[in-house]
Amino acid sequence: MKLKFCGAAGTVTGSRYLAAVLKYLAGDALAHPPAEAAGSSEFEDLTKAMSASVDAVVNSARAGDAEKLKAAIAKLKPAYAKISLKFG
């Protein structure tokens, strides 16, 4: 899935909305880890990195700063990829 902040989301309100949805979905996914993640310090580390990245996206969207938002999205991609590749 490719996240793209454009179209209606190109507005400040649209970006905030999409960032809020992202935060909800990421939180829900991290709250229900796969069985192999139980007790894994690696999962905890990856969870913290992904949560920090999602928070950066949300904060940038709230601030209405397009450059910071673009940078935050770029940092979110590796965090999401690492946790997805390792734990599904």
- Decide if 74 is inside a domain: yes
Domain enclosing residue 75, as ranges: 40-88
Distances (CA, A) of 75 to 8, 21, 32, 53: 23, 18, 23, 6
Give the global pTM: 0.78
Residues 23, 12, 61, CA angle at the centre, nearest 5°? 35
Q: DSSP state, 11? A: S
- Decide if 8 is inside a domain: no
Q: Please state, in angstroms and rounded to a whole number, the distance separating the CA atoms of residues 88 and 7.
A: 30
- Decide if 34 is inside a domain: no
- Decide if 14 is inside a domain: no
* pLDDT tens for each residue of 63-88: 988 889 889 989 999 998 999 898 87
* pLDDT tens for each residue of 55-66: 999 999 999 888
Phi, psi angle pair for 41, to nearest 5°: -70, -30
- Decide if 1 is inside a domain: no
Q: DSSP state, 32? A: S
